[in-house]
Chain A
Amino acid sequence: MPEGVAGIAEMILIALVYLGIFSVAGLFLVLVERRVAAWFQLRIGPNRVGFQGILQTLADALKLVSKELTGTVRADKFLYNLAPYFVIISALMAMSVLPFSKEFHAFDINIGVLFLIAISSIGVIGILLGGWSSNNKFALIGAMRSGVQTISYELSVGLSLLTMVLISGSLQLSAIVEVQKNGWLIVQGHIPAVIAFMIFMISGTAETNRAPFDIVEAESELGAGFHTEYSGMKFAYFFLAEFINMFIIAAIAATVFFGGWLSPFGITESLPWLGVFWFLLKTFVLVFLMMWFRWTFPRLRVDQLLTLEWKYLLPVNLVNIVAMALIVWLNLTIQF
């Protein structure tokens, strides 16, 4: 078949595969969140539908599809309908760049890390549009808070990733994983890398609007924040996108700090297809960490959130970059 058609067919196939991963991962993560939350709260959580509740989210998704699509009378129809697609598209695009294993890597572009950071900024447009076009004061307050929060924490995410790029020397994700054959980057960079990891986890949680930074949705304060007026499938989009974003942040951390699809000490190096397993294992440990945060800490007030970023995280981050640069220049990294 001619070049062009084959190329397009390949792209469509990859897109369908990733859509599949997106939905399955989303459904699975929602269930994991509910079981983990129940465990912390001395309850059991959903365990009836399917084996240990596996089919629970499917049942919820079917229910959501059958709901009436409401909307306010004076909402801006076009923007209101457009908003959820922004968040979905940005999540999908970010997922396509993640290295699940050496071969299972859809787009191995040479600006991998930069691309990821740029894409995550597009998601916030969806939130702002959703809040604004709902024509609802609570939604508007939620959307404005979210805009402010995301713009501030993008800086910290970017800078902490930049710290690790100093060791790897390349923005390309597969190259970053290759460098870690000499030891995970968090070990290679020792102190500055640990600090960068902590800052990345904090800012990543803030980027995805999860507790303790969920002032955007603050259920106890504003009803439901920017997605107050959404119901049915459109609400499901926002909801799923939040979980996928959490997965993406954890995946980036697993790739950049903990070796991606490499096995610890190279124990299964001869079986490269096991890389997917290691990658998912590391990602899920970090996802569990983010869920742990959510169900333990109270939430920060919006001005405290911004103070944390601008007065504490940013200066620490800048000093950290300089420290890391010194360590790399003086060859003080730990190599195996």
Chain B
Amino acid sequence: MPMEITPTATDSFKSQEYFINMGPQHPATHGVLRLLLTIDGEIIKKVEPDLGYIHRSIEKMCERDSYQQIVHLTDRMDYLSSHINNEAVCLVVENALGLEVPERVKVIRTIIGELTRIASHCLWWGVMGMDLGAFTTFFLGFRDREMINDIFEETCGARLTMNYNVPGGLMLDIHPNFVNRVKKFVAHFKTKIPEYDELITGNIIFQKRTKGVGILSREDAISFGASGPVARASGYSCDVRKYHPYSALDKVTFTESLKTGGDTLARYEVRIREMWESLSIVEQLIDNIPEGDHRVSTNAVIKLPAGEYYQKVETARGELGVYVISSGTKSPYRLKFRSPGFSNLSVLNHIAVGSKIGDLVAIMATIDLVIPDIDR
């Protein structure tokens, strides 16, 4: 994991360049990521990420645990979209077993999933402003996120690592207050997103720091395997909710947020747009939650039939894939998580070269990395 920084004869080390270490403890890298920067004055020549500071061998643990236990482990990968991670594993198991979950479960899963996405984007927005120097945005973003966290606490029992899904449905039915609180939140948040725009989006300083910075072309986005808002801002239409819908997403109408600029401002605008769309999805579903059971019973020990299964979901960061190879036993033979952050991180060297340190901070804020997602 740690690398020596001494330049060797094979490095292209010219006399004006020097190395700087950004991280692993650094206010702008949002987690334990170490970046080795080769800089010439203010211009970046090379960015090399150094990973593994929070590697917990989740994939190896999955080869020993049962499927219900694996759901717990996925909370801690991309902890800002933990509900959607849980949903991914539950969907793999349900599809493999051919289980048909009740409509109620699907609708509730989608509502909570979209609320999770909004909460993640609120935090992203607050931290982005803070990285660029406008400290007040942090508090405004968290104020709205707290409302969502309180809703989750009442229904799911936890604010961040919800763990509300089980293979076959939900652990408990929703709290009686759930519908009212979500409706109140939707009404409140609709007045807040324009406030966000007023504070930051139109500000000339912000525009100058994000327009034309860190441009990622569509071909590069596809070649680097980018997904989520990073790819959609470059014009690659890849929303998993549209192309491979799951849970109740085929019953709702929403537009995919696409932009063609590929720069930091485009990525920013895509996420703001996504918040509106998520609000619209929640609004469409919240009034018509079907009656029924919150759970279909499964065996205590779940064994998937031998074979390979793949499930894609759209987390707040991009496309999460769960690839299970089962040999018929109670634990998977091999379970691989295709994490969105891992591929999104690989574009960093490509787009940050030639820009300045200040630009690197803006680029990293919009690629929106969560390091435990990358390191697993």
Contact = CB atoms under 8 A, between A and B. Distances in A.
A3 interface: no
A223 B199 CA distance: 26
Given A298-B205, A301-B358, A303-B356, A211 B136 contact: no
A37 B132 CA distance: 17
B361 interface: yes
Interface string B124-167: 00000111111110111001000000000000000000000000
Given A40-B136, A137-B20, A218-B358, 5 more contacts: A42-B143, A137-B18, A298-B129, A299-B134, A301-B209
A297 B135 CA distance: 8
Query: Which 6 pairs, one residue from A and one from B, show the smallest C-beta to C-beta distance?
Result: A299-B133, A298-B132, A301-B358, A41-B139, A298-B134, A298-B133
Contact of B139 (A43, A212, A302): A43
Nearest to B359: A301
A36 B4 CA distance: 45
Given A298-B203, A298-B206, A304-B208, A221 B358 contact: yes
B27 interface: yes
Contacts of A43: 139
B356 A301 contact: yes
A85 to B, nearest CB: 29
A132 interface: no
A214 interface: yes
Contacts of B136: 40-41, 295-296
Interface residues of A, number: 28
Interface string B8-37: 000000000010100000111000000000
Contacts of A82: none
Among A43, A214, A220, A299, max chain B CB count under 10 A is at A220
Contact of B361 (A37, A141, A221): A221
Nearest to A221: B361
Contact of A212 (B205, B357, B358, B361): B205
Contacts of A295: 134-136
Nearest to B361: A221
B26 A223 contact: yes
A211 B133 contact: yes
Interface in A208-231: 211-212, 214-215, 218-223
**Considering residues B28, B129, B140, B206, which has the most beta carbons from chain A within 10 angstroms of its beta carbon?**
B28
25 contacts: A40-B136, A41-B135, A42-B140, A42-B143, A137-B20, A138-B20, A141-B20, A220-B27, A220-B132, A221-B27, A221-B358, A222-B357, A295-B135, A295-B136, A296-B199, A297-B205, A298-B129, A298-B203, A299-B132, A299-B133, A301-B209, A301-B358, A303-B356, A304-B205, A304-B208
Interface in B184-225: 199-200, 203, 205-206, 208-209
Contacts of A219: 27
A319 interface: no
A300 interface: yes
Interface in A172-226: 211-212, 214-215, 218-223
B42 interface: yes
Contacts of B206: 298
B20 A214 contact: no
B332 to A, nearest CB: 41
Interface in A260-305: 295-304
Nearest to A211: B133
A297 B18 contact: no
A173 B42 CA distance: 41
A180 B138 CA distance: 44
Contacts of B203: 297-298
B42 A220 contact: no
Contacts of B208: 300-301, 304
Interface string B49-84: 000000000000000000000000000000000000
Interface string B351-376: 00000111101000000000000000
Contacts of A215: 358
Contacts of A296: 134, 136, 199
A229 B359 CA distance: 25
Contact of B200 (A137, A298, A300): A298
Interface in A19-41: 37, 40-41
A221 B23 CA distance: 10
A138 B21 CA distance: 9
B42 A300 contact: no
Nearest to A42: B139
A110 B18 CA distance: 49
B208 to A, nearest CB: 6
A300 B130 contact: no
A221 B133 CA distance: 10
A281 to B, nearest CB: 26
Interface string A92-106: 000000000000000
A211 B205 CA distance: 12
A316 B212 CA distance: 27
Contacts of B209: 298, 300-301, 304
Contacts of B132: 220, 298-299
A302 B203 CA distance: 18
B139 A220 contact: no
A84 to B, nearest CB: 24
B263 to A, nearest CB: 14
B361 A220 contact: yes
Nearest to A138: B20
B106 to A, nearest CB: 37
B133 A302 contact: no
A2 to B, nearest CB: 57
Nearest to B210: A298
Contacts of A211: 133
A254 to B, nearest CB: 26
A221 B139 contact: no
A212 B206 CA distance: 11
Contacts of B358: 215, 218, 221, 301-302
A192 to B, nearest CB: 24
Contacts of B130: 220
Contacts of B18: 137
A299 B134 CA distance: 7
B111 to A, nearest CB: 28
A221 B28 contact: yes
Contacts of B27: 219-221, 223
